Amino acid sequence: MPQPTPASPKNSMLMRLYLLFVAALILPIALSYGIDPVAMLPKILDMTVTGTDQIHIFRAMMFLYLGACTFWLIAAFNPAWQRIAVIWAVIFALSLAVGRAFSFAIDGRASLLLDIYFVLEVLGGLLGLAVLRYEDRKAKQ
């Protein structure tokens, strides 16, 4: 007996806007880490980058962020991927925030820019959870 086909997911403008928002936030951060870490990072953070190993690490981080950003941009326009992309954005943001909180507890405060990143990560994760909750409530109506 044939199985009924599941209803295709509805396009959510709220999820789309959230995904575009987090992609827009993460893009400049990604580029600042990896385009020219030797020149850029000492300007924005209290650090110097010396050696090829450090450059490789920062470029890998840049492409990790760009990969997430690409997924969020694609998912923003693909209703079937929107929910999982929002979940991934929440996990991404809150895992960075937890890592920073752990470092604050162990290492102390960092630069103001990293404090701002922490606040944005917490708010971005909580906003994503609110988007998911809103969409769940809307679907039940």
Within 35-111, where are the H helices? 37-44, 52-76, 79-107
Give the side-chain half-sphere CA count within 13 A for 133: 7
Contacts of residue 55, defined as CB under 8 A and 6 or more positions apart, other chains included, come to 37, 38, 49
User: Token digits for 127?
Assistant: 């906003």
State pLDDT tens for residues 19-32. Answer: 999 999 999 999 99
Does residue 8 sit within a domain?
no
Does residue 32 sit within a domain?
yes
pLDDT grade for 4, boundaries at 50, 70 and 90: low
Q: What's the predicted TM-score (pTM) here?
A: 0.88
Q: Which domain holds residue 18?
A: 13-140
Does residue 114 sit within a domain?
yes
Instruction: Give the total number of structural domains in the chain.
Output: 1
Burial (Cβ within 10 Å: 0-12, 13-18, ≥19) of residue 75: buried
Cβ–Cβ under 8 Å, residues 130 and 94: no
Cβ–Cβ under 8 Å, residues 33 and 61: yes
pLDDT grade for 3, boundaries at 50, 70 and 90: low
Looking at residue 8, its pLDDT comes to: 56
Does residue 107 sit within a domain?
yes
State pLDDT tens for residues 72-110. Answer: 999 999 999 999 999 999 999 999 999 999 999 999 999
Q: How far apart are CA 71 and CA 20, in angstroms?
A: 11
Q: How far apart are CA 29 and CA 22, in angstroms?
A: 11
Does residue 1 sit within a domain?
no
